[in-house]
Amino acid sequence: MRIIVVGAGEVGYDVARMLSREEHDVVVVDQDADAIRQVHEKLDVMAIVGNGTSSQVLDEAGISRADMLIAVTPVDEVNIIACMLADRLGVSTTIARVRSDEITRAQSVLKTSDFGIDLVIHPEESAANEVVWLVRRASATDILDFADGRLQLMGLRIDPDAPVAGKKLQDIAAAHSHVQFRVMGISRGARTIIPGGSDTLRQGDQVFVLALPKYMGYISAMMGKAETRANHIMILGGTAVGVGVASQFGCEKNKTVKLVEPNKERAAKLAEILKNVLVIHGAATDIDLLVQEGLGEMDAFVAVTDDEESNLVTCLMAKHLGVRKTVALLSKNTYIPISQSIGLDAAVSKKLAVSREIHRYLRGTHVRSVATIHGLDAQIVEIEAKPRSWISKKPLRELQLPSGALIGAVLHDGEVFIATGGTHITAGDQAIVFAIPSRMDDIERKFAAK
């Protein structure tokens, strides 16, 4: 597939790298010559210096042969116009990163279709929602929703004193048979394990458990994690992510929310907008101010400024002062792998939100969603079984799934079930599948129509 990526910033670079690894024919366009030089030197893609809103530049990028255009520059208007041009020039799929909700609100005068945009991605909104879930599940390192929120995948770290450490998954399941859950993946050092019942959990493992949301508290306790409510929350950074988090928690009863913003005018504006949030003007690196404002008494600390180093350092300081849950907004590949090993509870990335949505489009209409997790060499797809598909022929125990793939749950007639050997997937059912990337194409074929 030929794909044009407009924007060579952090998000555009990450998208181009992901698409190139999947052997798509990728062209990156950006006005910044230095950014294009970095793309050209480090990625196996074509790189062009130019304006993504210029039809001449898009023609040079091969727009007439393109199957998709993805516009992810920092400027909404550039992304919208680039997609509009691509649509007029016959590109079948256009994707735009748009921070404003001006064209996606229900009451908006102009809709995305008016601009020829097939998908609008709001990475800041997705990141804010993920932060909220992580704060609510204080013991979780990762939280992902599936089946419109009826299923959740939760990441948990196995502590040395965890009751499940040293036990086989089949024994853990037997001891808690009244709760339906499935361990979908294990991250052990640099290894990703798609587990079977005979696999054993070890100290330091990061495990990913799929279950109904109502069981997540029980599962946390089962894994040796004490669930506590986060009623006192401090947010560092009045960015779009920070405002999104503050807005959601500020509307809840018994929540004390403080937001620290370094820009004085921005702080004054947010104080007017966020009625139930205490907005504080102060520098992100002013640790004395944060301590004076009660950092040590917080249940959760969220650092979502545009300065990733500040996010990392302040979260570690909060952890040192006894804050139970710390979440940082990080995107640099050098920071994310080490974040938890040095004491950070969880990291959220805006780039992941973009890549997940793009993956869903690339995978086809029967793939409802695609998710990836930092540090885990696997993809989680929500995929629909088509009529006469291979997967719908027999119960799972009679089918030989490829190694490195695991079906965790099935959505059938509006109800969600954790998959077992006796589960028989029928046409129209949706399944949650965990698989290493090299097995994903095979999984798609097994769910596709014959």
| pLDDT value of position 367 | 59
Same fold: 232-351 with 378-447:
no
Average of per-residue pLDDT across 152-167: 89
- Rounded to an integer, what distance in angstroms lies between the CA atom of residue 310 and that of residue 329? 10
Q: Does the structure show a pLDDT above 70 at 40?
A: yes
Q: Are 322 and 301 within 8 A, CB to CB?
A: no
What are 358-391's pLDDT values in tens digits?
776 665 555 566 667 766 778 888 889 999 999 9
Residue range 316-325, pLDDT digits in tens: 999 999 998 8
CATH C-level class of 232-351: alpha beta
- pLDDT at residue 284, as a whole number: 85
62-72 pLDDT, tens digit each: 999 999 999 99
What pLDDT does residue 133 have?
82
How many whole angstroms separate alpha carbon 189 and alpha carbon 356?
24
The CATH architecture of the domain made up of 2-121 is 3-Layer(aba) Sandwich (3.40)
| Across 258-283, average pLDDT | 94
Crossing angle of helices 264-273 and 240-250, rounded to 10° = 30
- Residue 113, pLDDT > 80, answer no
Domains in the chain: boundaries: 2-121, 139-222, 232-351, 378-447
Of the pLDDT bands very low, low, confident and very high (cuts 50, 70, 90), residue 339 is low
pTM for this prediction = 0.70
Per-residue confidence band for 103, with pLDDT thresholds at 50, 70 and 90: low
The answer to whether residues 202 and 183 touch, using CB atoms and an 8 Å cutoff, is no
Question: What CATH number is given for 378-447 in this structure?
Answer: 3.30.70.1450
The answer to whether 122 and 101 are in contact (CB under 8 A) is: yes
The hierarchical CATH code for the domain 139-222 is 3.30.70.1450
Question: Could you read off the pLDDT of 50-99 as tens digits, one per residue?
Answer: 999 999 999 999 999 999 999 999 899 999 999 999 999 999 989 998 87
Write down the residue that tokens 């920070």 correspond to: 242
Q: What is the mean pLDDT of the chain?
A: 87
